Amino acid sequence: MNRDPFAALADPTRRAIIDLLAQQALNINQISDHFNTVSRQAVTKQLKYLEDSGLVNIEKNGREKYCYLALDNLEEVNNWLRKYEKFWNKNLDKLEDYLKKREGK
Amino acid sequence: MAKEINIERFYPYPIEKVWNAITTSDALSDWLMPNDFKLEIGHEFTFKTKPQPSFDGIVKCKVIDFEAPIRLSYTWQGGPLKKPTTVSFELKSKANGTVLYFRHSGFEGFINQYIVRFLLGSGWKNLLFKKIKLHLDK
């Protein structure tokens, strides 16, 4: 099932989960330990919601299920990296100009 | 997560000249940014440029490793990059010039931070708002 990632972020528990996973990948128990007022079952449900919206990947590792952020394909990141790539390409052109200027010196 | 920038360039100049251009402060000031670079492992230096919105114009760096005249790497931290990333230059001498392999890597921490700030900050609200507005405009 596909869900809208932005609707997924409208919920405070799901946002808190994202915030936790931004620091490191965690298993479901570790995530639910962070919540006093939310049951493990509810956390699992929210994680499923986040997985369905493409924000979190859940991977089975032995008996544990590990959750980590899956945000690197978001357009924002790619745009930002493209900007940085442009910056370096422009400057590596300038490096060539510099070498040309200094030719014979 | 393999998010990094890789650029390969050929310069029709001998390797020593290219090496000097990437390892002397004056040369770097000319083609990159004003700086206080020194070719010394552990040397901390900055690149300074005009401040821009959301970037104070200062890049903090530290020389990690070098081997003259074939490789140099330093950390790169500034603007939205709160954790250091790594910039590296590798040179290969050819018959008629020098190949440069440039790499800027180590964006993982940044990607998570940036995106989370975007998602948990105003980014998602704006997007949600836009979506709602689009919906209402229908």
What is the residue extent of each domain of chain B?
5-106, 108-138
Contacts of A71 in chain B (CB under 8 A): 111-112, 115-116, 119
Q: Which CATH class is domain B5-106?
A: alpha beta
Query: Residue A4: what pLDDT?
Result: 74
- What chain B residue is nearest to A78 in terms of C-alpha separation? B3
DSSP B75: E
pLDDT digits (tens, 9 = 90+) for A31-64: 999 998 889 999 999 999 999 888 888 998 888 8
pLDDT by position in tens, chain B (length 138) = 457 899 999 999 999 999 999 999 999 999 999 999 999 999 999 999 888 776 788 999 999 999 999 999 999 998 777 789 999 999 999 999 999 999 999 887 776 666 666 666 655 556 555 555 555 555
Contacts of A23 in chain B (CB under 8 A): 112
Which among B5, B11, B123 has CB closest to A85? B5
CA distance B136 to A63: 47
Which among B27, B32, B120 has CB closest to A91? B32
What is the maximum alpha-carbon separation in chain A?
A: 73
DSSP B39: S
**Is the pTM higher than 0.95?**
no
Q: How far is CA B63 from the centre of its chain?
A: 13
CATH of domain A5-69: 1.10.10.10
CB B37 within 8 A of CB B25: yes
DSSP B1: -
Q: What is the CA radius of gyration of chain A?
A: 21
- Indicate the domain borders of chain A: 5-69, 72-105
CA distance A37 to A45: 15
